[in-house]
Amino acid sequence: MRRFFAPQESFYDKTVALDADETRHLRDVLRLKIGDEVSVFDGAGKEFACTINEIGKKETVLAVTGAIEPSSPESPFAITIAATVLNGEKYDLIVQKAVELGVTKLIPLITIRCDVKQKDAARRLERWRRIAMEATKQTGRAKLMEITEPAAFDKLLGELNGENAILFSERDGVDFSTITADKKITALYGPKGGWDDVELKMAAEHDINIVTLGGRTLRAETAAIAITAILQHRFGDLN
């Protein structure tokens, strides 16, 4: 069944309205017609079977016929990843794969060795959210991964307030086996040049677990994806 997204406020009196972008995809790309059956998820975890009633230029109205179970249930492991912003399409890849791996929240992180300024990262926020929405449609999730405003490293540490958090570093860390299981965790990933000494010291002062994985050298985008998969395998439902 073809899947579409509509926010909760678009549902009203057993109908739901698709916006202009979703309408264009339904009408011009998929070439669906009145009477065709589709599914619509609301981004908050619910999905519905629907029938197309009206197709306009900027809006499509569908009749909601009933609630259905999303094909990909949410992981019981609430994982937030704070990944340092990278140039170009590398960060797009992290966003897409984070959705596929069941990440709950993504925080675009600005660090000392980050190649992207915070104001420039903010301009890419809507792009990342569109990528996340498309990945959600493709993976069968019904809950959108939250993507926050870009956050400075020091500010984020102050906001964690004792939450269970792990900072992955190529040096100065303990073995991963020392980390205990938890159903809620924040994972911090550094830039391609690695963490600065000042940041490692700040993390230690905020009681953040610093973990080093073996002796392999991974690209920043590879590390973010691979380690997220390891976390889901260890604490989540990928086991």
Q: Tell me, what's the pLDDT at 180?
A: 77
Domain-wise residue ranges, the chain? 3-68, 78-235
User: How far is Cα 235 from Cα 33, in angstroms, rounded to an integer?
Assistant: 44
> Which parts of the chain are beta strand (E)?
3-5, 11-12, 15-18, 37-41, 47-55, 60-68, 78-84, 105-110, 146-147, 151-152, 165-168, 184-189, 209-211
Q: Can you give the pLDDT at residue 145?
A: 97
Domain 3-68, architecture per CATH: Beta Barrel (2.40)
User: Distance of alpha carbon 126 from its chain centroid, rounded?
Assistant: 13
Q: Which CATH class is domain 78-235?
A: alpha beta
- What is the chain's pLDDT, residue by residue, as a tens digit (239 residues)? 799 999 999 999 899 999 999 999 999 999 999 999 999 999 999 999 999 999 999 999 999 999 999 999 999 999 999 999 998 899 999 999 999 999 999 999 999 999 889 999 999 999 999 999 999 999 999 999 999 999 999 999 999 876 789 999 888 787 887 787 778 899 999 998 889 999 999 999 998 889 887 777 788 999 999 999 999 998 888 87
Residue 162's pLDDT is 67
